[in-house]
Structure 1
Amino acid sequence: MAVGHHYYVSDGPRTRIGHIALTGQVLDAKPMMPLTLRVLDAFVVSLVIAGSGFYAHGDGKIDRIEAPSLTVVPPGEPHTYGTGPGQRWTEWFVVGSGPVWEMLEQTSVLPTRGGPVRPSAAAHHEDLAAVLQAGPKSQAGAERQLWSIAAWLTSALRGGDEGIWTRAEQLLSADLGDKIDLRQVADHVAMSYDLFRHQFAARFGRSPLAYRNERRLEVAATWLRLTTMPNREIAARLGYHDEFHLSRRFREHFGTPPSAYRRDFSEG
């Protein structure tokens, strides 16, 4: 790809969860930014992956930007950023607004004051690049892009906190015979419900509810191997309607009914 400025989304489709006004890349070039402070009515995200520069706050403070560096500027904040005379950098950027951005701010994923930070090693710039280049044409595609950006930002700004996901796994694995309120689980890990579902699925490859259902079946399999507990009791303890409900779910997951599973292990 040629050095310079490349744009992928310009005034994308407006959706119920937000809007992307602009995405693009500055490739080994000087960013096109005003020398004076600017104020936007949208969130600005800048990921510098090569080179260095500066971020200027409205109060006159200047922060140095050194790759890798992630800058998020909330709406209404006076700022400018860029490279020094004769300098160039490589940057991915996105400008967006709406509920999904506000949700990230309200759950403390996004900072309340602009400025550069070092992104977590858990977030790879190639993943963000792939998302920003998507250029969706439909509302559904735009919503998927917004959720993907939200997930990447969460990983970049909170990805080092493995305790969040350990806690989520613990909550989803507890009291397996009871009904669970997934919104409360999201509250416990300080995320909105929608962001928690999307981020959990991105990390574990399945939804929180599917993860919990797998844990129930894994416990059922353990009890079948190690105890003589009747199937009816196992079903009751794990929150299934009856032993037939357990048997149906067990067969779907393990490819064999509970009775055959227990018999195979007892004979072995």
Structure 2
Amino acid sequence: MGMRTVVAVAEGPVTRLGQVVLAGEVVDDEPIMPSTLRVMDQYVLSVVLEGEGTYRDAEGRKERLLPGAHTIVPPGVPHWYGTDPGRRWTELFVVFTGPLFDSVAELSGLTVAGPRYPRPVPSIEALRSVLRTPPRSQRAAEHQLFALVDWLHDAADSGGAPDGSAPDLSPEVAQGVSRLSDDLTGSVDLKAVAAESGLTYDTFRRRFTAEVGQTPSAFRSVRRLQAAATLLRLTDMTHREIARTLGFADEFHFSRRFRAHFGMPPRAYRAS
């Protein structure tokens, strides 16, 4: 069997803005879900990283969940999601509540239940960074809630198909997009990603560029810089720590690349 790993907090501090009630990650395992539709008093976000499953609700909606599916369920909506019996997936999830989220629900895509496939895929590492450390004070807990709202807003702004369905990518390219979006350390071998998709590198590069609009290398570079921007906004990580986390040679290399892409150095971006 796989391993169920909780990477964040359970019953985080209650603040005037709200609360992260539960967050964690199911790693290559069958999720523990009731067999019938359930109703939550809080918002739920589930992101499928690997594997497949199904979402259904009381309105008769039933959809397959593929890698990259971001499922939102508002409070009070009867729903069910999970894998087929005996099947596994890797899923990052967070349950949250409070007036802060209610106030931005429409702007942040929290009012409509069901899966969607944002493009470009918002940084999963940034979301993990927000959830990984349990807050040690009320102020830290409020900062965490603001950071989660910021991430949700980025995810809502990132687009995708108009009806929220999976983008029109071939399975091989979709797998490559997922792999390059989730591994932003810079150490991933593009030829290995192509091989995992069952294609030669030249074929993978040609099809990836045609379907995504960028070469695999350019896509990975932009995603790393977008993740760096998110970490600058959402965390107090130093430039050196961000550079190390995202696989840049050092903070000076990171700063040069960041400025070339965003038109300002990381320090100015963080202060803006």
Q: Secondary structure at the match of 2:9?
A: strand
Task: Provide the C-alpha distance between the structure 1 equivalents of 2:110 and 2:24, rounded to a whole number of angstroms.
Answer: 22
2:103 paired residue number: 103
2:70 paired residue number: 70
2:56 paired residue number: 56
1:120 paired residue number: 119
Within a 5 Å distance, the mapping from 1:199-210 to structure 2 comes to none
TM-score normalised to structure 1 length:
0.58
Q: CA deviation at 1:8?
A: 2.4
Within a 5 Å distance, the mapping from 1:99-248 to structure 2 comes to 99-106=99-106, 108-121=107-120, 123-160=122-159, 211=272
Which amino acid in 2 is paired with 1:137? Answer: R
Q: CA deviation at 1:92?
A: 0.8
Task: Provide the C-alpha distance between the structure 2 equivalents of 1:155 and 1:13, rounded to a whole number of angstroms.
Answer: 25
Q: Secondary structure at the match of 1:105?
A: coil
Q: CA deviation at 1:43?
A: 0.2
Contact residue 73 and residue 113 of structure 2 kept, 8 A: yes
**Could you list the runs of 5+ residues in structure 1 that have no partner in the other structure?**
162-197, 212-268
Q: CA deviation at 1:134?
A: 1.4
Question: How many pairs does the alignment contain?
Answer: 173
Task: Provide the C-alpha distance between the structure 1 equivalents of 2:122 and 2:157, rounded to a whole number of angstroms.
Answer: 10
1:86 paired residue number: 86
Contact residue 25 and residue 90 of structure 1 kept, 8 A: yes
For the pair shown, which has the larger CA radius of gyration, 1 or 2?
1
Deviations 1:66-124 (A, max 9, x none): 01110110000000100002211111111111122112214x32242211111332511
Contact residue 131 and residue 149 of structure 1 kept, 8 A: yes
Identity, % of aligned pairs? Answer: 40
1:256 paired residue number: none
2:32 paired residue number: 32
Task: Provide the C-alpha distance between the structure 2 equivalents of 1:55 and 1:207, rounded to a whole number of angstroms.
Answer: 42
Deviations 1:214-250 (A, max 9, x none): xxxxxxxxxxxxxxxxxxxxxxxxxxxxxxxxxxxxx
TM-score normalised to structure 2 length:
0.57
Q: Secondary structure at the match of 2:134?
A: coil
The CA RMSD over aligned residues, in Å, is: 2.8
**Could you list the runs of 5+ residues in structure 2 that have no partner in the other structure?**
161-229, 235-261
